[in-house]
A and B are shown apart, each in its own frame.
Chain A
Amino acid sequence: MPMSELAALAPPLVGGSAPETVIIPASLDALRATVAERDGRTLAPAGGRTQLALGNPPRGRFALLDLRAALAGEIEHEPADLTAVTPAGVTLAALDARLRDAGQRLPFDPPHAEEATIGGALAVGMGGPLRTRYGPPRDFVLGMTVLRADGELVKAGGRVVKNVTGYDLMRLWCGALGTLGIITSVALRVLPHPETTDLRFSVASLDEGQVLAERLSRADLRPELLDLMRTEHGWDGLVRLAVEAVPGAEAAARAELTACDERMYLAARDLGFAEGDALTLRSSCATSAIAATATAFEALAPSRLLVRPLAREVRATWEPDAVPEAQAVVDATERLRATVAESGAAVIAERLPPALQGVLDVWGRPRPFARMAAVKAAFDPDGRLNAGRFVGGL
């Protein structure tokens, strides 16, 4: 859809709240000028608009800042170096197509990866099924250029695969939801695209699924992903393995593994972020807390429940008519937060229905909060970018 038409549509909600307007700078220079202005508004930066629902509503008057036109451009891919440098407004689908031509890929598959932009997806920092093998997306960032809230363009890192020159600000910028600056360009480490197979299995209980995951992991089969989804009768599992690892996998898993198509993978990847998903809670917790966390979610009768055991994630989602009474959700979430807090774990409300907005704290209160507030104050003291949307209203 052309940008002019997008602007004509009713603007989407950000953290449940409507922006005053949508600004679509046509170039990086125009973007810089817009950000440097002080018009009493805060700006909610947006890439592919796949995660605008995430976070608190921005504080006070705000505008949606559509970055795709300003941050478009060419991808520089160096297959021999296993690196790529890309403008932040490029979609993950476009990046993937480019890398695939040379038999490579970025192993990063957040929900709705087709529409998400690389800059937006890194700012959100939410991984997908591939986190199981490849860890958080920031591990693939070699360098970044960021537009700071005062309009200054600053960079950190570089474009080589091993580099400790200077402070690793990329790790601050990834997952900061644009509150410390707008990512404008990214240098990435990429990997050869391996030949893999998706296999499905069924287990009667979550415990059985976790045991199976542990066996595959201990046998060093290095599954690319391993997701467990609750069904009416038990749990459906999905595992992706290197082709050569498949013969050994059934023996190690002690379970029947059958081939499956891509639908199951997409269902797992996008679980919680479909049009009809009203409430989505995700817990990142210790291995030993996965079962209790899943049980706590199950007590609220979610529409769908996903466990990513080797990446230590549990995600539950409720369709509108399944959303429990608000207080029950708040109580359960706060109880869970208190239980898992000791290990530094988090419970994040990734989607909230109107009834819970402003009622359930989206992020919980991560520690050390004062230090995080100091980070925000150091890079965006006026709250020009996404004021109030992130943890503790930063």
Chain B
Amino acid sequence: MSASRELLRNLRAVVGREHVLHLPEDLLVYEIDGAIDRALPDAVAFPADAEQVQGVVRACNKLDVPVTPRGAGTGLSGGAVAARRGVVVATTRMRRILSVDSVERIAIVEPGVPNIQLSEAAAEHGLFYAPDPSSQKACTIGGNVAENSGGPHCLALGVTTNHVPGLEVVTAGGEIEWLGSHGPEPAGYDLRGLFVGSEGTLGIATKIVARLLPVPETVVTLLAIFEDPEAASETVSAVIGAGLVPAALEMIDKVTLQAVEAGLGCGYPPNAGAVLLIELDGVEAVVGAQVERALAACRGHGATEIRMATDPADRELLWKGRKGAIGSLGRLAPNYYLLDGVVPRSRLVETMRAVTEIGERYDFPVANVFHAGDGNLHPCLLFDERTRGANARVLEAGAEIMRICVDAGGALTGEHGVGFEKRRFMSWLYTEADLENMGRVRGVFGNSGGFNPCKVLPEGTGCGEMAQQASALAAAGPDAYV
């Protein structure tokens, strides 16, 4: 099925002829996001403002055509894939920073603004926007809102929902509404809190209020080197046990370190068993005391070397390898499958062992780079899709790893979202009654099933075109991130 003439005519009437794509060759770019599932939409519309978004949503609803919102397409759970075809609504043209208010410490931005641009605009006022997904150069604030994105610096400061007090949305039913506020605590139900992280199933954010924080006076980044991942994990526990909640606490394993050094050459020790990145910030006196405690924890748990960076350029170098880690894995294998499990921090060591065991059993090397401070694992299975049966097996191995996380008392996703990818595993965590109860919020926002279909919740049919996902495993390139 391709876009009906009526649909195309209506979409063009709303956004203009040049802002609608419908030819198969133009649509190819929009069949996949940063994950592995793919499906070709019938059309892509590029609205310029909330009214046009509303017009597109209403045009689709009227003809019963599925709608799938899309930001930069860096998502890692298939959330932006048009699972039942229909129209992809891309926020690409909505990329203005409308205001930065240093008194209220908020910025108001359109959804298509890349995360990094918001931080840059805030920096002019001595402020910053806290959530920093590794894809921040590309990913959009609108997409961050949909996925409730995190990032390495979310350990102390929280994820997107903690930093977005309000937003204007076009609901799935086609209404324009403001949810939340410009900062103050509004009365009534927290619809804002429900909308953020709803993975684009309740509507499309068209204006976003972002909370900004003062840039820390002092920032110290430590890179601690260990002979094995167990020692690094124990250090994580020791740091938390010492009463510290660092701004960031990240681990990189040996496989990843080798790829990073070969690819980026940022001075990481390629023969180490694991490294920890620990960042502390605040006023100098407080940070100084915290650094001492962190150093003691590292030394007490077998760190063979500790590097410390205080000036921005040196810190950036220490971070460069972390943020570019997943991209570097392309040097080790043609393909990888990136997971996003969460376990209680105290179960990190045993979970990593189990992950390694699963990798060995399936014969896939596993690279690990993750947010150790909050138990958010990102095992990355390395494979070659040209090997017969590799795609199916890598998905099977991934499912086993997710099961391990759930059995350890954890969750299916810490920051990438359930999307299309993990919805079939939702019943591991929730009963049918839980899922039915969650599903009620869709009706509240006027989504009767056609708005970003086949995402988050396992129920529903009609996603047959996605069934070939196993055979359509994509070669994720160096532009993927965690």
Indicate if the CB atoms of B188 and A81 lie closer than 8 Å.
no
Q: Give which listed residue, B194, B237, B241, B286, contacts A169 with CB less than 8 A.
A: B194
Residues of B401-430 at the interface with A, using a CB-CB cut-off of 8 Å, are 409-418, 422, 426, 429-430
Closest residue of B by beta carbon distance from A168: B197
Residues on the B chain within 8 Å of A119, using CB: none
Q: Give which listed residue, B186, B285, B376, B416, contacts A345 with CB less than 8 A.
A: B186
Inter-chain CA distance A162–B150, complex, in Å, is: 9
- A83-B344, A160-B375, A163-B414 given; A343·B189 CB < 8 A: no
* Stretch in contact with the other chain, from A170-178, A224-232, A253-261, A352-360: A170-178
Indicate if the CB atoms of A372 and B409 lie closer than 8 Å.
no
Residues on the A chain within 8 Å of B344, using CB: 78, 80-81, 83, 159-160
Q: Give which listed residue, A80, A148, A285, contacts B184 with CB less than 8 A.
A: A285
Q: Does B140 contact A (CB under 8 A)?
A: no
Q: Does B29 contact A (CB under 8 A)?
A: no
Indicate if the CB atoms of A82 and B411 lie closer than 8 Å.
no
Residues of B438-482 at the interface with A, using a CB-CB cut-off of 8 Å, are 438, 440-441, 443-445, 456-457
Q: Give which listed residue, A174, A221, A345, contacts B181 with CB less than 8 A.
A: A345
Residues on the A chain within 8 Å of B237, using CB: 80
Indicate if the CB atoms of A172 and B193 lie closer than 8 Å.
yes
Indicate if the CB atoms of A160 and B343 lie closer than 8 Å.
yes
Residues of A207-265 at the interface with B, using a CB-CB cut-off of 8 Å, are 217-222, 242, 244-245, 247-248
Indicate if the CB atoms of B162 and A135 lie closer than 8 Å.
yes
* Stretch in contact with the other chain, from A60-68, A198-206, A362-370: A362-370
Q: Does A53 contact B (CB under 8 A)?
A: no
Residues of B299-350 at the interface with A, using a CB-CB cut-off of 8 Å, are 342-346
Indicate if the CB atoms of B444 and A348 lie closer than 8 Å.
no
Indicate if the CB atoms of B413 and A163 lie closer than 8 Å.
yes
Q: Does A391 contact B (CB under 8 A)?
A: yes
* Stretch in contact with the other chain, from B10-18, B172-180, B268-276: B172-180
Rounded to whole Å, the gap between the CB of B219 and the closest CB of chain A is 10
Q: Does A155 contact B (CB under 8 A)?
A: yes
Inter-chain CA distance A343–B104, complex, in Å, is: 11
Closest residue of A by beta carbon distance from B243: A192
Indicate if the CB atoms of A368 and B178 lie closer than 8 Å.
yes
Inter-chain CA distance A165–B426, complex, in Å, is: 8
Indicate if the CB atoms of B444 and A374 lie closer than 8 Å.
yes
Closest residue of B by beta carbon distance from A161: B374
Indicate if the CB atoms of A218 and B214 lie closer than 8 Å.
yes
- A165-B426, A167-B456, A221-B283 given; A156·B438 CB < 8 A: yes
Indicate if the CB atoms of B441 and A167 lie closer than 8 Å.
yes
Indicate if the CB atoms of A175 and B437 lie closer than 8 Å.
no
Indicate if the CB atoms of B437 and A363 lie closer than 8 Å.
no
Rounded to whole Å, the gap between the CB of A109 and the closest CB of chain B is 16
Q: Does A94 contact B (CB under 8 A)?
A: no
Q: Does A50 contact B (CB under 8 A)?
A: no
Indicate if the CB atoms of B346 and A139 lie closer than 8 Å.
no
Indicate if the CB atoms of A192 and B244 lie closer than 8 Å.
yes
Closest residue of A by beta carbon distance from B438: A167
Residues on the A chain within 8 Å of B197, using CB: 164, 167-168
Rounded to whole Å, the gap between the CB of A222 and the closest CB of chain B is 6
Contacts A171-B192, A172-B191 known; 6 new A-B pairs at CB < 8 A: A81-B375, A162-B150, A175-B190, A244-B283, A368-B178, A391-B188
Q: List 15 A-B contacts (CB under 8 A).
A: A80-B237, A156-B430, A160-B342, A160-B374, A161-B342, A166-B435, A169-B437, A175-B189, A175-B190, A192-B240, A220-B217, A220-B282, A368-B191, A371-B444, A374-B444
Which 4 A-B pairs rank lowest in CB-CB distance, beginning with the nearest? Answer: A344-B181, A171-B193, A366-B188, A192-B243
